[in-house]
Amino acid sequence: MVANGVLITGISGAEFGIRGFLDGLDPETGKQLWRLYTIPAPGEKGSETWPAGDAYLRGGGSTWITGSYDPELDLVYWGVGNAGPWAPAGRPGDNLYTASVLAIKPKTGEIVWHRQLVPNEMFDLDATWEWILADIDVKGVKRKVTMHLSRGGFLYVIDRTNGELLAAEPFEKINWATHVDMKTGRPVESEISKKVRAGEQIELWPSQWGAKNWAHAAFNPETGLLYANTMHNSRYAQFEPVEYKVGQRYVGLKNLPAPRQPGLPIAHVDAIEPLTGKHKWRVPIMDIPHYSAVLATAGGLLFTGKETGEFIALDMDSGKTLWQFQTSSGINAQPITFTHKGRQYVAIQSGIGGVNVARMGEQLKNVPRGGSVWVFALMDQ
Amino acid sequence: MHRTFIGITIALALVGCALNPGASDLVNDGRNTDNVLTYGMGYAQNRYSPLAQINKTNVKRLVPVWSLSMENDFGEQAQPMIQDGVMYVSDAKWTVAIDAVTGKRLWRTAVEFDPGTPRIVCCGVSNKGVALYHGKVIRTTIDAHVIALDQKNGQLLWKQKVADWTQGYSLTLAPLIANGVVVTGCSGAEFGARCFLDGWDPDTGAHLWRRYTVPGPGEKGHETWNPSESYLHGGASTWITGSYDPELDLMYWGTGNAAPYNPENRKGDNLYAASIIAVRPKTGEIVWHYQAVPNDIYDWDTVWEIILADIMVEGKVRKVAMQMNRNGFLYVLDRATGELLSAKAFTQVNWATHIDMKTGRPVESEVSKRLRAGERIQLYPSIRGGKNWMHAAFNPHTGLLYAATNEGYSNYKLIPVEPFKPGFRYQAVEATYSPVTPATVGGYIQAIDPMTAKPKWRTPLMGELPGSAVLVTGGGLLFTGKHSGEVIALDADSGEQLWQFRTTGGVNAQPVTWTRNGRQYVTILSGIGGTASQRRGMPDVPLGGAVWTFALTE
């Protein structure tokens, strides 16, 4: 992203034992202005949350989703990914700044505040998803917040000026934590989490796919609601020994399908109240989770796409599908709307890819590959 | 014994009933607009549909209703086939079955071919479509095979080798099913192939007959090759699907250029190169032939679609076969006898002054004489032809042909023939083309009177050569596609463009129209390929194939 004249980029690779960072670059010349490691080096603030030795060098903390920016506060909000490897035995401690949100100054990369969602994270609970900025009423007071539908299933609402936790309610089925302690801001791990730490195999809700994956949510300031493609799925999880090898997967988790109850949705399209995590409506999805971002418009519509290729428009008030169009491949992308010469257009890319193709292999076998750009408008009258 | 025999007969009869489409479905194709079962939308290859739901007044409301990626960068040229709500589409890599209304893929089967095969293909790694018969999807492959897949699931039922691809043979055409026989042709005249037609049993794949289009020793026509052994690499490929008259039980196939283009080692007329042949589907017997270009030196393929119609000629209704030939002349023949009824130029022609109506032979011009004497000439039409393969349409109600024709010329010279090498080009000419700039008229879409070859109207195509076949409908519309990616609809009475839609790639394919549950659809493939894939003029048209289906907004 470009914030206050600085080009900021992140990094992927926490499944391969990287040490994550953010970079600030001069957009005119490409010159590097700063680098902020998301895993502090020995002696730096936060390094005490890592064991002595070189675990921090492979500690993960990738930054693979673009941050948001508040120009008035001149703060960039950037989510940090899972710790590496997933198996936590070799990295006791909170492991800052994995599974955290950082508020940073774009000119310098300085961390102004941080909030870690999952200390000593062990389920690939990336905090990288979009951090949505809005000014909303909290107990009668208008607050500048940042909101996040987390992979672990809690909906975080945080004061974006100072990092104060305002709400963290579940929006999906969760069994790895009982709740988030609002005093400490830390999730309270359940018996299930204790069992898996002790080496047992557990059935984990939500699965490592997340209660929501990267497919970005939308927020409508008029309705005060978040709109998101969420997932309702469990997997079996058990840690296993893992050895670091350059360029190889560095995970240490057996991650196996759990039997699904017939008739149970695997995913939803949801309209969610930020402070309670409650659904205003839910549209159950029985077959293949959506992997597209949601766009909300003042026309009362939500636009999103399906892995089977349909680009769809939903009634924002009910979730009912009002329109759909079959594109040439699967959609796992991000709709936008724009105008040119007074006419409104909606655009999205089609082209199946990303992680869900492998997850849904058999069900998507008749969805062809091949990318294209699609642009829609109302017919001229 | 007797009882057993009856039992088998009944069983076969039951199987015959269940297996669609059958011979009569193909003969009657077009009566049930839900189906498109033949190449050219009817054995007569008129590419005419009476459907009028989409018409001049409402075509502006035509929108895509679905698209499906073909996952193929080689290019899409095929005509889709449709039966009972399922669409069957092919390209060089895949055979695909699609729910015709929703665009959901039902099955897909890969074509296995050696990755070296493309080097023996002159004009694009391509395929022009499938044939449907007796529950089978039958198609040809780039490595010179013909295969049959189960229409239900795409599983291979039989596969037959047509020729050895390493010798320069390939197949891209859609098979013709005529009188219960699968008939396929051959590509490779640029690689010194000796071409043929083959007849196959659709149910078993058994080879029924082969008819060489270049006769061997002892066969009629062999005397037109001199020296005698020149027939072995004589060309005469059969790369566009023939048409069929079920009443006369005659197929009409065009044959390609003689090989090599330089004729120094093949004196004589070189039958049946650059000819139209009328063939019995059961036996492969040539009932009559008409050679458009004896001793061809210009790549004057005579393979383009041969359109069958019954038209008035000097006050009498005649059963004719019409062809807008690559060489710039529009031929009208009596399709029962092969009698030449008309042969007028439809574009600028300088290689011949006219066709002698007594002998049926072109009268070569001074330009051709200079070429034969070794000079470099400026040739009209270019060796791409006055028209290339992009099939024309015929509307029996207007009596007009609708075609996308080429403008431009070639600079052209014969060069010495190198010895034949299997799998290498065998042409012996130098050819360049007139430049195509954005201001160039690359060609015309035109309505043409068959007997005079005069345009009723013509609409210039700016900055590119024609890309696609033409479809004409009862709604007064022409549909075709452009290399630049647009599918367009023109007013069939004036040539005015009424509608266009930009697809994902270049369009060099074949539109069809059809109905399902009472709604009219138009389908065409997009994906630049064929010889267009070699053109450098359109660097911003991306590769990548897709099927596009359009309908009026509800």
B519-538: pLDDT as tens digits: 999 999 999 998 776 655 57
Element (H, E) at B24: helix B23-27
User: Which of A327, A350, A379 is closest, CB to CB, to B63?
Assistant: A379
Per-residue confidence (pLDDT) for residue B15, from 0 to 100: 44
CB contact under 8 A, A325 and B108: no
| Cβ-contact A171, A155 below 8 angstroms | yes
Strand partners, B254: B276
Report whether pLDDT(B9) > 60: no
HEC assignment per residue over A220-231? ECCCCEEEEEEE
Cis peptide upstream of residue B272 (ω within 30 degrees of 0): yes
Phi, psi (rounded to 5 degrees) for B352: -140, 150
DSSP label at B129? Answer: B
| Cβ-contact B88, A348 below 8 angstroms | no
- What percentage of residues in chain B have a pLDDT greater than 70? 96
Per-residue confidence (pLDDT) for residue B533, from 0 to 100: 62
Q: Domain A2-286 maps to which CATH number in 3.20.20.30, 2.60.40.420, 2.140.10.10, 2.40.30.10? A: 2.140.10.10
pLDDT grade, residue B540 (50/70/90)? Answer: confident
| Cβ-contact A90, A17 below 8 angstroms | no
- A256 vs A265: CA distance, rounded Å: 19
Q: Which of residues 265-324 of A touch B (CB under 8 A)?
A: 308-309
Torsion of CA B207, B212, B217, B223, to 10 degrees: 160
Q: Which residues of B touch A369 (CB under 8 A)?
A: 69, 71
CB contact under 8 A, B68 and A372: no
Report whether pLDDT(B5) > 50: no
Catalytic residue flag (residue A74): no
Q: What is the pLDDT of residues B459-480, one digit of tens each?
A: 999 999 999 999 999 999 999 9
Q: Which residues of A touch B65 (CB under 8 A)?
A: 325-326
Phi, psi (rounded to 5 degrees) for A87: -65, 120
CA-based nearest residue to B272, from B325, B316, B219, B322: B219
CA distance B263 to chain A (A): 45
CATH class of A295-381: mainly beta
CB contact under 8 A, A328 and B546: yes
pLDDT grade, residue B554 (50/70/90)? Answer: confident
Average pLDDT of the residues of chain B:
94
Can you tell me the mean pLDDT for B206-214?
Answer: 98
Residue spans of the domains in chain B: they are 20-552
Can you tell me the mean pLDDT for B374-378?
Answer: 98
Per-residue confidence (pLDDT) for residue B538, from 0 to 100: 76
User: By CA distance, what is B100's nearest residue in A?
Assistant: A326
User: Which of A325, A350, A368 is closest, CB to CB, to B105?
Assistant: A368
CB contact under 8 A, B71 and A368: yes
CB contact under 8 A, A326 and B66: yes
Residues with Cβ within 8 Å of A91's Cβ and at least 6 positions away in sequence, in order, are A50, A51, A55, A59, A83, A120
Q: What is the pLDDT of residues B480-497, one digit of tens each?
A: 999 999 999 999 999 999
User: Which of B64, B65, B69 is closest, CB to CB, to A329?
Assistant: B69
Element (H, E) at B26: helix B23-27
| Chain Cα centroid distance, residue B69 | 24
Q: Which amino acid is at A218?
A: A
- A86 vs A238: CA distance, rounded Å: 11
Q: What is the pLDDT of residues B233-270, one digit of tens each?
A: 999 999 999 999 999 999 999 999 999 999 999 999 99
- A2 vs B168: CA distance, rounded Å: 56
Report whether pLDDT(B140) > 80: yes
Can you tell me the mean pLDDT for B66-79?
Answer: 97
CB contact under 8 A, A370 and B544: yes
User: Which of B104, B504, B546 is closest, CB to CB, to A366?
Assistant: B104
Q: State how far the alpha carbon of A30 is from the alpha carbons of A9, A25, B379, in Å.
A: 11, 6, 55
Q: What is the pLDDT of residues B335-368, one digit of tens each?
A: 999 999 999 999 999 999 999 999 999 999 999 9
CA-based nearest residue to B346, from B471, B448, B444, B461: B448
Domain B20-552 has CATH 3.30.1300.10: no
B545 contacts chain A (CB < 8 A): yes
Per-residue confidence (pLDDT) for residue B122, from 0 to 100: 86
List strands edge to edge, sheet with B136-140.
Answer: B131-133, B136-140, B145-150, B156-161
CB contact under 8 A, B546 and A372: yes
B543 contacts chain A (CB < 8 A): no
Report whether pLDDT(B14) > 50: no
- B481 vs B538: CA distance, rounded Å: 15
Q: Which amino acid is at B255?
A: T
- What percentage of residues in chain B have a pLDDT greater than 90? 92
Per-residue confidence (pLDDT) for residue B288, from 0 to 100: 98
Can you tell me the mean pLDDT for B220-224?
Answer: 97
Residues of chain A below pLDDT 50: none
CA-based nearest residue to A289, from A362, A231, A226, A207: A231
Q: Which residues of B touch A325 (CB under 8 A)?
A: 64-66
DSSP annotation string for B396-422: TTTTEEEEEEE---EEEEE-PPPPP-T
A376 contacts chain B (CB < 8 A): no
CA-based nearest residue to A146, from A102, A210, A99, A112: A102
Q: Which residues of B touch A327 (CB under 8 A)?
A: 66-67
Q: What is the pLDDT of residues B281-295, one digit of tens each?
A: 999 999 999 999 999
CB contact under 8 A, B71 and A325: no
The dihedral region occupied by A207, where left means phi > 0, alpha psi between -120 and 50, and beta the remainder, is beta
A380 contacts chain B (CB < 8 A): yes
Residue spans of the domains in chain A: they are 2-286, 295-381
Per-residue confidence (pLDDT) for residue B537, from 0 to 100: 58
CB contact under 8 A, A368 and B553: no
Domains A2-286 and A295-381 share a fold: no
C-alpha atoms less than 13 angstroms from C-alpha of B13 in its C-beta half-sphere: 6
Q: Which residues of B touch A351 (CB under 8 A)?
A: 69
Can you tell me the mean pLDDT for B403-430?
Answer: 95
A245 contacts chain B (CB < 8 A): no
Q: What is the pLDDT of residues A45-70, one digit of tens each?
A: 999 999 999 999 999 999 999 999 99
Average pLDDT of the residues of chain A:
96
CA-based nearest residue to A39, from A127, A130, A100: A100
- B352 vs B524: CA distance, rounded Å: 36
Report whether pLDDT(B129) > 80: yes
| Ordered alpha helix ranges (H), A67-226 | 191-197
Per-residue confidence (pLDDT) for residue B534, from 0 to 100: 60
Strands A154-159, A165-170: pairing is antiparallel
Residues with Cβ within 8 Å of A130's Cβ and at least 6 positions away in sequence, in order, are A65, A66, A68, A79, A148, A216, A217
Report whether pLDDT(B130) > 60: yes
Interface residue of B68, B74, B541 to substitute, partner A, most A CBs within 10 Å: B68
